[in-house]
Amino acid sequence: MSTDEQGHEDKKIPRRVVLRAAAVSAAVALMGSAGIQSPGSNEVKSPPANNGGGAPPSDGAQPYADPTKTVGAPPGKLGTRSSFEQLSKKPSDISARTPLQDLYGMITPADLHFERSHAGVPFIHPDKYELLIHGMVDRPMVFSLRDLKRFPAVSRIAFIECSGNFRSGKETLTPQEICGLTSQSEWTGVMLSTLFREVGVHPKATWFLAEGSDAAVMTRSIPVEKGWKDAMIAYGQNGEAIRPEQGYPARLFLPGWEGNTNVKWIRRIELSDQPFMTREETSKYTETIRDHKIRQFSFDMDARSIITYPSYPGQVEKGWIEINGIAWSGRGKISQVEISTDAGKHWERAQLQEPVLDKAHTRFRHLWYWDGLPTEIMSLAVDDTGYRQPTLKQLVQARGADMGGYHVNPVTAWIIERDGKVLFKPEKWK
């Protein structure tokens, strides 16, 4: 022990005190780097706390408490998202788009599945629900929801996509705005082929009418062949009852076919030997093509892909970046996705995330080193039929400039500027 010039004793500081001080200093530095004020400060810049159960707090600034010092919220009846995760659909008068850029994996949460309706979402009591199957059948029958659930059930993972799922025109578009009218769920229900056998479909029946219970009485003509092949009357979605916006209590599900043929709130199926030529397949959901012709009954959704990261309004830094996104095809499985990081001059194969399923969203990934120079990145999907996703120029060459807005599935590009800002590259075809 020694004495300084003022006569104070120079005591040796215990090692545990030094370590404790170092730990506190490190914690304060960490809080500062995260934009969080140290204890005792009146101002807090942290994100909103979980607030016990995930609900956002009433105001945007709360003291950030050490979660190990406070007992958390007890178990509840329903799970909730963290208040830090503000995911939402983008609604309009007739649709609501899935936030593709905010999702992981291949399954869309049921409450984020895109919506498209023609007269709003009807309220249907499950005990009052009935499905009539009649026309060219041996035994016309009416099935309750309970009846449908007594048949052997099947589940499959597949996407649904609106045939009008493309927007362009400005640089400030997100994946959600460009093509957010596609989503994927695990669908559970009874195969339509099972019901066809139950009612005894006539061999000469080649079409059936699917009719919904909404105020628009949505109706579409469907080839019977599709009904026998893989059509389903779905009453389950991602492990629970199908959501009202998706057709509760039951909907027609036609894997790989344009969304409006997957008639929601289905109440009637009529078998016939010819199409019914309804409003939705004459004045609507038809496409003008070259030589003043009209393309009708274009059921299959063609192969498509979009990079969801990086994308607008993101910002990237020089170095390694994992490009990722989703690809899908209504004709089969995705066989490969090609990535270009130099505006289409060169292409490399991306890695496909397993499982790669039939008529399903498939996530792809590609590791890329960005050198900091301006460029464009894009993806191109190929399915197992050999179909290659076209450029917009190729679509116009095939269909003409007046091709309309249905089944437009072009390769899309993201512009990466020198400062790392990411913008959509709009293209015009008229």
Instruction: Say what the pLDDT of residue 293 is.
Output: 87
Q: Above 90 in pLDDT, residue 62? A: no
Q: Which residues contact 230 (CB under 8 A, 6 or more apart)?
A: 191, 254, 255
Instruction: Say what the pLDDT of residue 310 is.
Output: 98
Query: Each residue of 381-401: pLDDT tens digit?
Result: 999 999 999 999 999 999 998
Q: Above 70 in pLDDT, residue 350? A: yes
Q: Above 50 in pLDDT, residue 169? A: yes
User: What is the rounded radius of gyration, in angstroms, for the C-alpha atoms of the chain?
Assistant: 28
Query: Each residue of 86-126: pLDDT tens digit?
Result: 999 999 999 999 999 999 999 999 999 999 999 999 999 99
Q: Comparing C-alpha atoms, which of 226, 227, 390, 377 is closest to residue 302?
A: 390
Query: Each residue of 144-168: pLDDT tens digit?
Result: 999 999 999 999 999 999 999 999 9
Q: Comparing C-alpha atoms, which of 284, 308, 316, 314 is closest to residue 297?
A: 284
Class of residue 285 by CB neighbours under 10 A (exposed 0-12, middle 13-18, buried 19+):
buried
* Element spanning 24, H or E: helix 15-33
- Dihedrals phi, psi of 23, to nearest 5 degrees: -65, -45
Class of residue 374 by CB neighbours under 10 A (exposed 0-12, middle 13-18, buried 19+):
exposed
Measured distance CA(119)–CA(388) in Å, rounded: 36
Class of residue 206 by CB neighbours under 10 A (exposed 0-12, middle 13-18, buried 19+):
middle
Measured distance CA(293)–CA(287) in Å, rounded: 8
Instruction: Say what the pLDDT of residue 30 is.
Output: 43
What band does 60 get if pLDDT is binned at 50, 70 and 90?
low
Which amino acid is residue 318, in one-letter code? K
Q: Which residue has the tokens 């204890």?
A: 39
Q: Above 90 in pLDDT, residue 4? A: no
Q: Above 60 in pLDDT, residue 13? A: no
Average pLDDT, the chain: 89
Give pairs for 61-68: CB < 8 Å, separation 24+.
64/31, 64/36
Instruction: Say what the pLDDT of residue 224 is.
Output: 98
Instruction: Say what the pLDDT of residue 15 is.
Output: 53
- Both tokens of 83, joined, read 């208040």
- Report the first-to-last Cα separation within the chain, whole angstroms: 89
Q: Which residues contact 182 (CB under 8 A, 6 or more apart)?
A: 98, 100, 114, 159, 160, 161, 162, 165, 328, 361
Measured distance CA(105)–CA(103) in Å, rounded: 7
Helix, strand, or coil (residue 69): helix
Q: Comparing C-alpha atoms, which of 109, 288, 77, 269 is closest to residue 186?
A: 109
Q: Above 50 in pLDDT, residue 298? A: yes
What band does 414 get if pLDDT is binned at 50, 70 and 90?
very high
Beta bridge partners of residue 10, listed in sequence order: 2
Whole-structure pTM value: 0.85
- Both tokens of 160, joined, read 């649904």
Q: Comparing C-alpha atoms, which of 346, 329, 328, 348 is closest to residue 338?
A: 348
- pLDDT > 70 in the chain, percent: 86
CB distance 171 to 424 below 8 Å: yes
Strand residues in 117-192 grouped as ranges (E): 130-135, 141-144, 154-161, 182-191
Instruction: Say what the pLDDT of residue 8 is.
Output: 43
- pLDDT > 90 in the chain, percent: 80
Mean pLDDT of 298-305: 97
Instruction: Say what the pLDDT of residue 430 is.
Output: 74
Lowest mean pLDDT among 102-116, 279-293, 334-348, 352-366: 279-293
Query: Each residue of 247-266: pLDDT tens digit?
Result: 999 999 999 999 999 999 99
Helix, strand, or coil (residue 241): strand
